């Protein structure tokens, strides 16, 4: 772990601990959770010939709890006490975030992104999703690393901001972004698009053919793909047919993106 990432992680942890220290906010954060700064093997991502990130809003309570709200019987993360004096706590957090897709990923959510990733020759990881590829994607959340007990829309807005995301996003410097978040989250899209709003049908690389279902844009030498979320990411209408129709175009745009960097 380099010093830049270590500094970003410290800020995320400070943000997490500060929220836990606020009585009005801490009740919305899942108990005994950790800040999920990213999901997936960061080292394989950094070694990938094409760097792809998927983007959501904030981690789900499903990452830590069963449906009956009891702790998961098969935890997805190892617990890390961020308030302890353990000098290795950041390294432990780094390791458990990296191992996410090797253990017990929340498939009901991530299968949606994985479906889209396959059409770019990518995957979150060979062990979890049984695919061999040199392109390993990671997932990050634009508003917060907090797993919340309620949906984003029901939580205090003081919990959420894009400042830390922007630092992490710049550090990861992805070539391709797959985002399955509502179009009404203007600040989130601005954070992803770097202050150039791109969800404009005139710029859609698919010519608006799949409007409000699947769209693709180029923003500062980056390919950004939007897919509608219906209870899970990229759960668009007739998705198999649509992705088969756009696969060649997506791959060409991905290759062009990497060439121009």
**Higher per-residue confidence, 231 vs 245:** 245
Compute the distance between CA of residue 156 and CA of residue 234 in angstroms, rounded to an integer: 27
Structure confidence by residue, pLDDT tens digits, 9-36? 999 999 999 999 989 899 999 999 999 9
The pLDDT value recorded for residue 83 is 82
Q: Domains of the chain (ranges plus CATH)?
A: 3-260 (3.40.470)
% the chain with pLDDT above 70: 98
pTM for this structure?
A: 0.94
pLDDT class of 244 with cuts at 50, 70, 90: very high
Using the predicted structure, report yes or no on whether residue 196 has a pLDDT greater than 70.
Answer: no
Structure confidence by residue, pLDDT tens digits, 67-79? 999 999 999 999 9
Q: For residue 21, give both structure tokens.
A: 């220290």
The pLDDT value recorded for residue 220 is 76
- Alpha-carbon dihedral 120, 125, 129, 133, rounded to 10 degrees: 50
Contact 168, 5 (CB under 8 A): no
The pLDDT value recorded for residue 87 is 81
pLDDT class of 235 with cuts at 50, 70, 90: very high
């Amino acid at each position: 772990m380099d010093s830049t990432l270590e500094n970003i992680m410290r800020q995320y942890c400070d943000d997490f601990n500060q929220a836990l220290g606020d009585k009005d906010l801490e009740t919305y954060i899942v108990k005994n959770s950790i800040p999920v700064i990213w999901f997936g093997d960061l080292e394989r991502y950094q070694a990938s010939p094409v760097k792809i990130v998927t983007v959501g809003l904030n981690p789900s309570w499903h990452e830590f709890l069963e449906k009956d709200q009891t702790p998961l019987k098969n935890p997805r993360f190892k617990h890390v006490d961020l308030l302890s004096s353990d000098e290795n706590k950041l390294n432990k957090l780094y390791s458990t975030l990296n191992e996410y897709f090797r253990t017990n990923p929340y498939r009901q959510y991530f299968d949606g992104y994985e479906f889209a990733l396959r059409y770019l020759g990518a995957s979150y990881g060979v062990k979890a999703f049984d695919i061999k590829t040199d392109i390993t994607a990671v997932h990050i959340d634009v508003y917060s690393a907090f797993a919340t007990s309620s949906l984003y829309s029901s939580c205090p807005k003081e919990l959420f901001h894009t400042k830390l995301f922007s630092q992490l996003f710049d550090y990861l410097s992805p070539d391709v972004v797959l985002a399955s978040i509502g179009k009404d989250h203007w600040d989130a899209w601005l954070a992803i698009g770097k202050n150039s709003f791109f969800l404009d049908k005139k710029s859609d690389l698919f010519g608006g053919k799949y409007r409000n279902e699947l769209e693709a844009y180029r923003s500062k030498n980056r390919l950004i793909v939007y897919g509608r979320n219906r209870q899970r990411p990229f759960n668009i209408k007739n998705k198999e047919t649509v992705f088969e129709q756009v696969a060649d175009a997506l791959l060409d745009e991905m290759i062009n993106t990497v060439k121009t960097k």
